[in-house]
Amino acid sequence: MATRYIYRIDDEDEKKVLKTRCRPAKLPDSSLKRLIADMYETMHAANGVGLAAPQIGLSIRLAVVWTPPEVETLEDGSEVEIAPERSYTLINPRIVKMSNEEIIRQEGCLSLPGWYGDVPRATWVTIEYQDLNGKTLRLRKADGLLGWAIQHEVDHLDGILFTERIRDISTLRDMSKEMSVEKPQTVQV
């Protein structure tokens, strides 16, 4: 496994790659295993929850998403895991259905580290994607962090940046100084 360089929105040459609509991945393809491992390593090293292939310079429809375990604090102060961490490898994903309702959250991107803005997203999405063998899978009504991250990563595959989803650009700001002082309430995808 290897950590890959993450392309940046604020570099004009790299932004051209990020703005390109990706081509479908051809399956089965055993060489994708190493690429996927590298993508997870790169995402975790950058403290992200999602990473799309164009963010590492590859214009193929491939993204990885990771959700941390959900932990609940009990009255005695101890913590108990109520949902395990999950990893999703999404090959040729497409959103097939989404809620009509939306939620606005502070959203960031590994391609613009430290910057966050208010982004509206559907409250849930249903996607179809393929596994490494080319089998089509469906993930129904993904919501919360998972649904949010999926929408962000599918946008990357379609050449859409999170900054283009922001309705009030004044909400986009550099929070890297605040984040270095305290744990962020936001997540970069």
Instruction: Name residue 187's amino acid.
Output: V
Q: With H, G, I as helix, E, B as strand and everything else as coil, classify residue 57.
A: coil
Q: 90 near 62, Cβ under 8 Å?
A: yes
Q: Residue written as tokens 């992200």? A: 48
What is the C-alpha separation between 109 and 163, in angstroms, rounded? 9
Q: Whole-angstrom Cα distance, residue 87 to residue 112?
A: 23
Q: Is 79 a catalytic residue?
A: no
The burial class, CB within 10 Å (0-12 / 13-18 / 19+), for 159 is middle
Q: How far apart are alpha carbons 36 and 42 in whole angstroms?
A: 10
Q: From the candidates 14, 70, 153, 182, give the one annotated as an active-site residue.
A: 153
Our measurement of the distance from residue 108's CA atom to the centroid of its chain's CA atoms, rounded to an integer in Å, reads: 10
> What amino acid positions are annotated as catalytic residues?
153
